[in-house]
Amino acid sequence: MRTLLEAAIIALGAWLCLSPLALGYAEPIAIAFSVGMGVLSVVCACIGLRSKTVQINFMVLVAAGLCFAVWGLVGSLGLAWINGVNEVIVGLLIACLSAICLPLQLDVEKASFYNRGGSDLASISKMSEKKGNLLAKTVLLGSMPETIFIRPEELCKLLSLMDFKVVAKLPGMLYEGWKQNRASSKEK
């Protein structure tokens, strides 16, 4: 998934390099800003492709994408409307895709789930898709290897079991998990 997101960022960067020609940008500063953001996007995404654990490049892209979107918003007021719309949309897409890439830039071996007492219930070492189902390679109760299949209808049921409070807290929980995983990977 990470590679697909990085490829999308590279494609958006390439579009930014070509968009001044395709959309007929007239202002030299708009051309320079668009091409510069495109080159930055391509370079940072290529760094991500080469390294599984480098995260600073995606942090830079989140900030740069947001700045580019603001630039497009401000620029659409004074320069050309179509240029601004392009820059806002592409800037927000780059920022969002880069933000999604951040937690995927961790080198983890497994995800573990525990009971209240802290005992290991299940450790998932790999997840993939097979014949329309999620497939999870797990070790149950610390000693029993098992492959778990999750059908799409069960995944939908699982999501429907979450109340609004849980859904609202998910982004914060994911951010906290990312920070803790990042700190533990730095210690290694």
Task: For 106-157, write each residue's pLDDT tens digit.
Answer: 666 788 888 888 888 888 888 888 888 888 899 888 888 998 888 888 888 8
Q: Are 73 and 114 found together in one domain?
A: no
Q: Are 21 and 74 found together in one domain?
A: yes
Range of the domain at 188: 152-188
**How many domains does the chain contain in total?**
3
Q: Are 161 and 71 found together in one domain?
A: no
Q: Are 99 and 111 found together in one domain?
A: no
Q: Are 73 and 130 found together in one domain?
A: no
Q: Is 6 helix (H, G, I), strand (E, B) or coil?
A: helix
Tell me if 92 sits within 8 A of 67, measured CB to CB: no
Q: Are 54 and 137 found together in one domain?
A: no
Instruction: Tell me the whole-structure pTM to 2 decimals.
Output: 0.60
Q: Are 164 and 129 found together in one domain?
A: no
Tell me if 90 sits within 8 A of 76, measured CB to CB: no
The pLDDT of 52-69, averaged and rounded, is 82
Give the chain's radius of gyration (CA, Å): 21
Of 38, 69, 104, the last residue of a domain is 104
Task: Beginning with the edge strand found earlier in the chain, give each strand of the sheet holding 144-150 in spatial order.
Answer: 111-114, 120-130, 133-140, 144-150
d(CA 48, CA 128): 21
Q: Are 22 and 35 found together in one domain?
A: yes
Q: Are 21 and 81 found together in one domain?
A: yes
d(CA 186, CA 7): 26
d(CA 72, CA 78): 10
Residue 187 pLDDT: 65
Q: Which residues pair with 120 in a beta bridge?
A: 114
Q: Are 53 and 118 found together in one domain?
A: no
